[in-house]
Structure 1
């Protein structure tokens, strides 16, 4: 693997030489490496099973978040393909949490959600985890969330057998009634799109950084609902967030409808262990 990374380095910064390299944790999708050269440090991700568009979507998301000037992300150094293997080069981020870190994360995420945005969805190739996510920009949030997000996972699960007849019947019934709970025209926000506890990190000075985005434009409550699904976010985070961008009184009523999308994704990615959680939500809303 080192020769491939050396070739990539010469494409993004000719003349630099690697002085240290070792593998690091990069999630369950990619191979990841710490690379130190004679000039700087990098975080490098590569994936033999994915196309270059997989990392181009991540690059686009990081730059869109960065453009809001609200919350930090690693700088993108290069997104390229070497000998048929796509790779993403980012600046290396390292730091220690302080008593202010969680508060800053909440405040700055809320500020990102308050930044100007238009429409719902995303235009162009995108992914959620390693799953391709069909996308388009729409003017109605319910239509987008129903037809593209829930509908896309329904079709994938039906094709694979993860969504059988009884589950499908309830899901279709819920999708038909979605506008009873989900607003059609909430404020459009740039969302990270995959914000669980492992997709943010601490940088210099205890400053939070967002990583591994799966961006879309949508209701900020969808983002907050996912942060609650698997945990990993403190009370300070939520209090700081709401001090900047309060959640609606109806948030608790529809929170699980937003979590349903992510549970369907996990059902399609990892199997039936997520099925009971999907069924519980379907029964709660449509019996």
Structure 2
């Protein structure tokens, strides 16, 4: 299957080595070495091609800001009905400057020019399809698309019961008490936990596995704090380029709430207590 995918990219290349790569929970992944170069290949028999097309688009959008590195996309295609994404192979060792560069370059990406809030097309967060549209009000987008989408999914799958739903609805009704309606619009990575960046040649940081959207830069920063993986040097470097608002700590957990709802819907009730804690903090 992989060899057929390779032939669709470059008929002259000959595969010399294929070996599985561990680390992700959504896709099968492989290291592929040919007579010309090395590849990282992801495939997923359960998903449609749009799943990888969204990742391809996100990587290219980040790359177009000319601020922070991402792997080059070498092909997004189907072979024998299985969608796959071919990327350049990235490998390197972390240096003293890696975390500083990650912070500075992510901040530069967030400072790049952008308009509107949301996303204009098919997108995913993990394996979950994410409804989207571009809007001119950040509170309305975050409430009506992001939070409401996970609320409806959680209600349908039985993971958001009456008490949890009541608090979530109350919070959504009051969201503009804490979140600005017109923050600077930024291109966001959208899924920025510690496993979605890596070190490349010369210690250069690379962003991987984006779930892009346009929105408040604080949303990316809030998620970096949820599951760890980022150092103090990263945050200091980020703020030296793009300082966080004095109100960031007050609304940080509201941005983390979306990701916790996603994890609740993907993985179950182990994330429920964290959702409930945030709801109680803001609406009692």
Q: Which aligned segments of 4 or more residues in structure 1 are displaced greater than 2 angstroms?
A: none
Cα deviation, 1:112-157, whole Å, max 9, x if unaligned, reads: 0000000000000000000000000000000000000000000000
Does the alignment pair 1:274 with 2:266?
Answer: no
Does the alignment pair 1:125 with 2:125?
Answer: no
Which of 217, 220, 227 is the equivalent residue of 2:217? Answer: 220
Which segment drifts farther, 47-56 or 26-35?
26-35
What is the CA–CA distance in structure 1 between the aligned matches of 2:23 and 2:210, rounded to whole Å? 14
Cα deviation, 1:231-273, whole Å, max 9, x if unaligned, reads: 1100000000000000000000000000000000000000000
Which of 29, 32, 45 is the equivalent residue of 1:35? Answer: 32
Equivalent pair of 1:107/1:241 in contact (CA under 8 Å) = yes
SS at match of 1:81: strand
1:15 Cα deviation from its structure 2 partner: 1.6
Which of 180, 185, 190 is the equivalent residue of 1:188? Answer: 185
What is the CA–CA distance in structure 2 between the aligned matches of 1:202 and 1:96, rounded to whole Å? 6
What is the CA–CA distance in structure 2 between the aligned matches of 1:263 and 1:162, rounded to whole Å? 12
What is the CA–CA distance in structure 1 between the aligned matches of 2:159 and 2:37, rounded to whole Å? 46
Q: Show the counterpart of 1:265.
A: 262
What is the CA–CA distance in structure 1 between the aligned matches of 2:85 and 2:219, rounded to whole Å? 28
What is the CA–CA distance in structure 2 between the aligned matches of 1:88 and 1:14, rounded to whole Å? 17
Equivalent pair of 1:16/1:39 in contact (CA under 8 Å) = yes
Cα deviation, 1:88-131, whole Å, max 9, x if unaligned, reads: 00000000000000000000000000000000000000000000
Q: Show the counterpart of 1:82.
A: 79
What is the CA–CA distance in structure 1 between the aligned matches of 2:246 and 2:13, rounded to whole Å? 55
SS at match of 1:127: strand
Does the alignment pair 1:61 with 2:58?
Answer: yes
1:25 Cα deviation from its structure 2 partner: 1.6
Where does 1:56-205 land on structure 2 (aligned, <5 Å)?
56-205=53-202
What is the CA–CA distance in structure 1 between the aligned matches of 2:272 and 2:22, rounded to whole Å? 28
Does the alignment pair 1:10 with 2:3?
Answer: no
What is the CA–CA distance in structure 2 between the aligned matches of 1:123 and 1:152, rounded to whole Å? 16
Q: TM-score, normalised by structure 1?
A: 0.99
Q: How many pairs were matched up?
A: 284
1:26 Cα deviation from its structure 2 partner: 4.5
CA RMSD of aligned residues (A): 0.4
Equivalent pair of 1:167/1:279 in contact (CA under 8 Å) = yes
Q: TM-score, normalised by structure 2?
A: 1.00
Unaligned 5+ runs, structure 1: none
Unaligned 5+ runs, structure 2: none
Does the alignment pair 1:19 with 2:16?
Answer: yes
Equivalent pair of 1:190/1:215 in contact (CA under 8 Å) = yes
What is the CA–CA distance in structure 1 between the aligned matches of 2:183 and 2:282, rounded to whole Å? 21
